[in-house]
Structure 1
Amino acid sequence: MSVKPFSSVWTRERKGTREQGLSRDQIVRAALELLDAEGLDALSMRKLGARLGAGATSLYWHVANKDELIELVMDEVYAAVVLPEAADWRETARVFAYGMRHAVFEHPWSASLIGVVPALGPNALTASDRLMGAFARAGFEGIDVDYAMTAVVSYTLGATIPEVAFLTVLEATGQSLADLQSAVEPIVMKAMADRPNLLKRYESYASEGVDPLVARRLAFEFGLTALLDGLGTRLR
């Protein structure tokens, strides 16, 4: 099996706008709007050209293929992660986590591309540079800087992506969360019948009137705080 050589739109010199042509920024904005409206499967160069009222030539002046276009659009997603330049490491990590979480919620289609599409654009690199700088200034040394960054990134995405996937599937069904819970409850109760500890805990959610969406937000904050506390302990 042949392997495609690695390439990136960010390693090529950016072309200017052709006379009476579209700019790269216009193309990226339109692609982002299309993705947000219809999802990843709907994106094609033909469909994007039709949306812009432009031929393929205008698009291919700026990007060689769909992969390069997605690289550009993903960096627009990372633009939501705006980190302070000189804040302490806990604040910087917290801003990163909530910024990244917000970005994925705003653009659910991006969840399947994070870690797959190279994050080499200016917005992604600025966020990485500032997060790394905050950990280094705090006193993390050597490879521990990378481990600390990886811990924050992994927790943020690991907690957020399954939640976004669930809400995306829920939206596709046309059901409300309450309807889904009502439909699932007897199945869950039956499955847990011989697991009294799990059953008791599940029943407590209903009796306490826990809002699942609020609970997920609180769970994210709990996990993030625990992670940062652990990093702080390691730093000391």
Structure 2
Amino acid sequence: MPADEKPIASVWTRPRRPQRELLTREQIVAAAIELLDLEGIEALSMRKLGTRLNAAATSLYRHVTNKDELIELVVDDVYGELEVPAVADRAEWRAAVTRSAADLRAMTLRHPWIAPELGQVGLVHFGPNAMRMSSGLLAQFEAAGFTADEKDRAVGTLMAYVIGIATSEAAYLSQIARSGKTEQEWVAALRPAFDEASQEHSQLRGGSSARQDVHPQQIRDDDFAYGLDRVLDGLAARLHA
């Protein structure tokens, strides 16, 4: 790194300040996640979080220097919900990766606000939980037989698919939640308008009609599994190339 170039600022790259009061970083992070789950990323502010904790915003700044650092902390805490994949043998790598991908999607849908944070291009997650998860995935692809160069790209491809799908789903489910309807009610309410708009598009009508009696969540699960299988088919083909 050039002498005049500053390192990337991150809560994970500076020393943790000594504890001097009852309020802890862990309490701050837990309260922030509760607020985010209830009201979304737009509602998060140091002042609002301080009110939730019955503490002055200045007390929070003893633990995090700004909102960006707080986001780093909450993202990594949520990553801690994921089970780090145990290294599988070469014959089982695909099943292990599939479980990890499904866990990541489920975690994102539990916390819809996290989807944009995971999907930011160029954002590196230095937190210990995120690092353990990434290392675990790399170990799976290494066990599968991918070269050192390709295993990084394989993990990147997998994450891009999962985060991309989960981001779209999270936005869709958040819109439904704001409507006050269940997913089934929301889809049923849209059906007449879709049928009318697609009268001259038989391909659209045919595909939609074939699945109109299937629960919308099952359709989302099936679509995710289909896309994941195709991604893994392509990656597996590289092992035989």
Q: Same fold (TM over 0.5)?
A: yes
Residues 1:150 and 2:151 are matched in the alignment: no
Against the structure 1 CA distance between its residues 15 and 173, is the aligned structure 2 distance closer, same or farther, given a 3 Å change threshold?
A: same
**Structure 2 residue 7 is matched with structure 1 residue 27:** no
Return 157-166 or 110-119, whichever deviates more: 110-119
**Secondary structure at the counterpart of residue 61 of structure 1:** coil
TM-score with structure 1 setting the length: 0.90
Amino acid in structure 2 at the alignment position of 1:164: A
Q: CA-to-partner distance for each residue in 1:113-159, whole Å, 9 max, x for gaps?
A: 11335311000011111111221232211321122111211111122
SS of the aligned residue for 2:206 comes to helix
**Of 82-91 and 51-60, the range deviating more from structure 2:** 82-91
Q: 1:169 is aligned with what amino acid?
A: Q
Query: Residue 132 of structure 1 contacts residue 146 of structure 1 at CA under 8 Å; is this kept in 2?
Result: yes
Cα RMSD between the aligned structures?
1.9
Distance 2:219 2:82 in 1: 24
Structure 1 residue 136 and structure 2 residue 142: aligned? yes
Aligned 1:70-89 pairs, distance under 5 A? 70-88=71-89, 89=93
Cα separation, partners in 2 of 1:115 and 1:203, compared to 1, 3 Å: closer
1:162 alignment partner in structure 2: 168
SS of residue paired to 1:114: helix
Paired position in structure 2 for 1:178: 184
How far 1:171 moved relative to its partner?
0.8
1:115 matches 2:122 = no
| Equivalence map 1:181-220=2 (5 Å) | 181-206=187-212, 209-220=213-224
- Report deviation, 1:191: 2.0
Task: Write the distance in 2 (CA, Å) between the matches of 1:96 and 1:153.
Answer: 10
Large movers: runs of 4+ above 6 Å: none
Quick one: which of 3, 10, 18 aligns to 2:12? 10
For structure 2, the residue ranges without an aligned partner over 5 or more in a row are: 1-5
Verify the 8 A CA contact 1:104 1:111 in the aligned structure 2. Answer: yes
Residues 88 and 143 in structure 2, CA contact (< 8 A), matched pair in contact too: no
Residue correspondences, number? 230
Partner residue of 2:3? none
Of all paired residues, the percent bearing the same amino acid is: 43
CA distance in structure 1 between the aligned counterparts of 2:97 and 2:185, rounded to whole angstroms: 36
Is 1:63 matched with 2:64? Answer: yes
Contact kept in structure 1, 2:85 and 2:100, CA below 8 Å: no
Structure-2 change in CA distance of 1:35 and 1:137 (3 Å)? same
CA deviations 1:75-118 (Å, max 9, x no partner) are 01111222233224323322321121111111111112113353
Moved more, 152-161 or 226-235: 226-235
- How far apart, CA to CA, are the structure 2 residues paired with 1:120 and 1:95? 23
Q: Which moved more, 1:150-159 or 1:189-198?
A: 189-198
CA distance in 1, matches of 2:209, 2:99: 35
Counterparts of 1:109 and 1:84, CA distance in 2 = 24
Quickly say closer, same or farther: Cα 1:84–1:177, change in 2 above 3 A: closer
**Distance between the aligned counterparts of 1:34 and 1:176, measured in 2?**
22
Between stretches 88-97 and 65-74, larger displacement belongs to 88-97
